[in-house]
Amino acid sequence: MNKNLLFIFVSFFLLFSQSSLFASEQNHPEEEKEFNASEYVLGHIEDSHDFHIITVKGHHISVPLPIILYSKHSGFHIFMSSRLTHGHPYKNFELATEGTNKGKIEEHTGHEVSLPLDLSITKNVFTMFLSAALLLWLFISLASSYKKTGISEPKGKQGFLEPLILFVRDDIAIVTIGKEKYEKFMPYLLTAFFFIWINNLIGLIPFFPFGANVTGNIAVTLVLATFTFVITQLNANKTYWKHIFVMPGVPVWLYPVMIPVEIIGLFSKPFALMIRLFANISAGHIIVLTLISLIFIFKTILVAPASIIFVLFMDVIELLVAALQAYVFTLLSSLFIGLAVQEEGH
C-alpha cells in the first residue's frame, strides 16, 4: 500500500475513534442534557481507576483496574474498581464525584471522612507498566540480535532503533557532556528519551489499552525532572559548586545577591523541565478534544468538516510534538549534566 495512503488511513482512523468516544458519551435522547465540553475534555486527560470504553444508554462500559488501599483503620484492601462504579460504596470506601476530593477514593467511618493511602494501578500507572514492558522487549531483543549477528548492517528493529540511539549519543550526549564523560549518563538519557516518546505516542491512540495522558500528568513529569536534578547534583564537580558559591570575577560585595540567585537557578532548571513537558502534552490533548467537541456544542453536522480538518492537522502536529518533547527533555537534561561535570576552563 502506498505510504501516503496508509498515513491518511491511520490519521482518519484515529480521528474518528476520538470522535466516537465523544459521541458515545452523550446520554440517551430520553435523558438528553446540555453537553459540557470542559467536563469531557478534562475527564479524558485526567487519571482514573479504569479505562472507559463506551457509554450505551447512560451505562458506562469500562475496563476495571485493581484498587490497592491502605487504611489506618482497617489495613490493606485490594479489589477491582468495578466495585465502586455508579457511585456505589464498597465496604467503607466510596469514589468521590464532587467537592475537593472529586475522583479520589474516600473512606467513611462513622461521621469521619478520610483519604486512605491510594496505591492503586490507575490508568496512568498501567500505561507506564505497558511502556516499560515495551521498552524492555525492544532493547532486550535488540541486544540479543547484536550478540547473534555482531556489528553488521542493521535490519528490522535494529534499523529503526540504532539511528535513534546514535542520535542521542552523537547529537545530544557527546555535544553537551563531552566525549570523556558521556558514557556514564547514556543509560539515563536513552531511558528518558524513549520513555517520554513512547508514552507521548501511546497518549495519541484513543482506545484501550492506550490513550492515557501519562506525560501530561504533572506528577510524572515531576519525577522525571527530579531524576535529572538528583543525577546532576550527585555528579557535580568542584568547578560547578565554585561557580555557585564563589563566582569567579564577581565582586565579593555582590555575593549576598548572586548566591541566592544561583541557588534558585538550581531548582528552576528542573522546574522548567517539569512544566514544559506537562504543559505541551496536556495542551495538545486539550486542543484536539476541544475541536472534536465543537460538533456536539453546535449540534450540527455542518461544523463537522471544519472540525475534522483541524483535528487531522493537529494529530499530525502532535506526532511531531511527541518526538520533539522527548528530544527537548533529553537535550536539556544532558545540558544540565554537562554544565555540572565540565572542568575548569571549558
**Assigned domain for 60 exists:** no
And the C-alpha cell for 315? 494529530
CA 18 to each of CA 119, 207, 273, 285: distance values in angstroms, whole numbers, following the listed order: 30, 8, 29, 11
**Assigned domain for 303 exists:** yes
Q: What is the pLDDT of residue 12?
A: 43
The residue ranges of the chain whose pLDDT is under 50 are 1-31
Q: How many domains does the chain have?
A: 2
Same domain (yes/no): 93, 197? no
And the C-alpha cell for 147? 550478540
Same domain (yes/no): 139, 167? yes
Same domain (yes/no): 243, 312? yes
Same domain (yes/no): 76, 188? no
Q: What's the chain's Rg over C-alpha atoms?
A: 24
Residue bearing cell 475537593: 100
Residues near 63 by Cβ (< 8 Å), separated by ≥ 6? Answer: 50, 51, 53, 208, 209
Same domain (yes/no): 233, 113? no
Chain centroid to Cα 196, Å, comes to: 7
Residue bearing cell 553488521: 152
CA angle 163, 4, 22 (to 5 degrees): 100
Give the three-class secondary structure for 198. Answer: helix
Q: What is the pLDDT of residue 329?
A: 96
User: DSSP character for 89?
Assistant: -
Q: What is the pLDDT of residue 214?
A: 92
Q: What is the pLDDT of residue 158?
A: 78
**Assigned domain for 300 exists:** yes
Q: What is the pLDDT of residue 280?
A: 92
Distance CA 295, CA 305 (A): 9
**Assigned domain for 12 exists:** no
Domain boundary among 53, 87, 120: 120
**Assigned domain for 61 exists:** no
**Assigned domain for 168 exists:** yes
In 3D space, the residue among 86, 89, 96 whose CA is nearest the CA of residue 58 turns out to be 86
Domain boundary among 79, 97, 120: 120
And the C-alpha cell for 25? 458519551
Q: What is the pLDDT of residue 271?
A: 95
Q: How far apart are the first and last CA of the chain?
A: 52
Residues near 188 by Cβ (< 8 Å), separated by ≥ 6? Answer: 227, 231, 333
Same domain (yes/no): 306, 161? yes
Same domain (yes/no): 111, 132? no
Same domain (yes/no): 323, 309? yes
For 107, the domain range is: 66-120
In 3D space, the residue among 60, 98, 112 whose CA is nearest the CA of residue 81 turns out to be 60
Distance CA 312, CA 295 (A): 14
